[in-house]
Amino acid sequence: MLRMVLYGAMTAGILVLVGIMGTLLCALSGIQIDAMGYASLLGFCAIMGFAGSLISLFLSKPLCKRTYRVQVIDRPTNEAQRLLVDTVAEFARQYGFKMPEVGIYHSSDPNAFATGATRDGALVAVSTGLLDCMDRDAVRGVIGHEMTHIENGDMVTMSLLQGVLNTFVYFISFVASQALAGRGRGGSSAATGALLRMVCQAVFGFLSTLLLMWFSRWREYRADAGSARLNGAQPMIKALEALQRSAREASRPQGRAFSAMAINASPLGSLLASHPPLEERIAALRRSGL
């Protein structure tokens, strides 16, 4: 509850900052908007900005279950399932929240995710490809990583940040396009204003994506560190090394074509990546001394 209050206070503070920035931009460009209209515009942009991200947050668990055809483990029937359930239960006790649902889905890609709108209503799912390429210690490292995402409230934080950034993009794009079109001084046509607004949304939207992806990479380092605190650094390092081996094996048949598709193949690709490079994550864990 306290965490949600803090999230709400942080979000309100950022929206106030966005409003102040818009006020300054209006003053500098000579745009005249009455106080009621200004507040209505900011409120409308906030509704538009948060609607999609909050709906996605609250529907994330059922949508992921359906999309990935996750088989929720009610009673473990084999050693792999027992390892997943026991490890999730162990880490949930350490963190002090209700045990999430645990599931497996069929995919050759080694992957795992945590999702859900609240800590006590989360889901941790692991692919069959991950279980095939990792040993027991590495799987525990991955589970520790996903459980730390839940403990840190990363799903909620990402949704709120996305909503704030969307609001910023809609609101500042409107004000900036008005300033560029000179509409506050009886300037250009409505079509020109609409075109400028689209251009501003594209530019500010790209910049907001860079910020969102930076935060996503930062939270991955935090989740790695959380796994190390739960379980020691070595299991998480083993998991990341297994992912490196899997990536190398997948790249052999495709050669250059695979390299061209790699998200970190260029500096721009690195800025747009949601996860840091595996080698940097391994290095950070080794430096941590955990």
123: helix, coil or strand?
strand
146 noted as active-site residue:
yes
Task: Report the distance separating Cα 271 and Cα 221, nearest Å.
Answer: 15
Angstrom distances, CA of residue 29 to CA of 24, 114, 175, 233, 246: 9, 46, 9, 54, 54
* Sequence letter at residue 229: R
**Closest by Cα among 202, 200, 215, 112 to 160:** 215
User: What order do you get walking across the sheet with 101-105 strand by strand?
Assistant: 71-72, 101-105, 123-127, 112-115
**Catalytic pick among 146, 151, 220, 249:** 146
Angstrom distances, CA of residue 64 to CA of 10, 122, 166, 174: 28, 11, 23, 34
Helix intervals (H) in 30-78: 35-68
Side-chain-facing half-sphere of 212: CA atoms under 13 Å: 20
Query: How many DSSP H helices and E strands does the chain contain?
Result: 11, 4
| Cα four-point dihedral sign 82, 83, 85, 89 | positive
CB of 262 closer than 8 Å to CB of 209: no
Active site residues: 146
